[in-house]
């Protein structure tokens, strides 16, 4: 039996029941959300499980994981900061903002702080170009936009959130 279906029999059945049998492919994104909820990322084995349930190739699933900024294929920090550096945001200072964040955190985009707390990512188009520089934060299932940012403002927010996240650990 598929390990995702074995671990979440009711949830996978509910998701698959929402789509016609010949359109199981439509269930990929909800199945990926289900898969990612435990570990915060989607492993190759989990992609195989989703592919099996949706009756598609694992390459199809991997391409979806790679395309959407809310899906992750490897472990990352408890706090994810995603900074858009697309052209419109770049014209409003996003490149300099990202560089300053990298320096403030001591990591490059795509890296995680040594304590495993923060991952900084450079992404394309978060659909808030007129409010750049901006970032999207992801902490567990909580996703927020933070617009009209400065590096100082973001690093202050991050210190506050880091204390909250660390305080929640036991």
Tell me which residue range forms the domain holding 14. 7-67
Residue 31 lies in a domain: yes
Tokens representing residue 12 in the block: 């996978």
Q: Is the domain of 103 the same as that of 162?
A: yes
Q: pTM value?
A: 0.68
| Residuewise pLDDT in 10s, the chain (170 residues) | 689 999 999 999 999 999 999 999 999 999 999 998 877 789 999 999 999 999 999 999 999 998 887 788 887 888 989 999 999 888 999 999 999 999 999 999 999 999 989 999 998 888 888 888 999 998 877 889 999 999 999 999 999 998 887 766 54
Q: Is the domain of 85 the same as that of 120?
A: yes
Question: In the prediction, which pLDDT does 168 show?
Answer: 63
Q: Is the domain of 18 the same as that of 58?
A: yes
The helix-helix angle for 58-67 and 28-39 (nearest 10°) equals: 70
Q: Is the domain of 51 the same as that of 114?
A: no
Render 62-117 in DSSP notation, one character per residue.
HHHHHH-TT--SS---SEEEEEE-SHHHHHTTHHHHHHHHHHHHT--TT-B-TTS-
Residue 161 lies in a domain: yes
Q: Is the domain of 114 the same as that of 40?
A: no
For residues 131 and 48, is the Cβ–Cβ distance under 8 A? no
């Amino acid at each position: 039996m598929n390990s995702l279906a074995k671990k979440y029999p009711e949830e996978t059945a509910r998701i698959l029941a929402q789509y016609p049998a010949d359109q199981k492919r439509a269930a990929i994104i909800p199945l990926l959300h289900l898969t990612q909820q435990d570990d915060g990322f989607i492993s190759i084995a989990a992609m195989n499980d989703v592919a099996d349930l949706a009756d598609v190739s694992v390459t199809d699933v991997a391409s979806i994981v790679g395309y959407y900024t809310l899906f992750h294929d490897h472990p990352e920090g408890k706090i994810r900061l995603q900074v858009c550096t697309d052209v419109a945001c770049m014209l409003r200072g996003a490149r300099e903002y990202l560089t300053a964040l990298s320096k403030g955190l001591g990591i490059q985009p795509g890296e995680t702080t040594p304590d495993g707390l923060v991952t900084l990512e450079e992404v394309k188009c978060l659909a808030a170009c007129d409010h750049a520089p901006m970032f999207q934060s992801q902490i567990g299932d909580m996703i927020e936009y933070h617009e009209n940012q400065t590096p100082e403002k973001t690093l202050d927010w991050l210190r506050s959130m880091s204390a909250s996240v660390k305080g929640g650990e036991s």
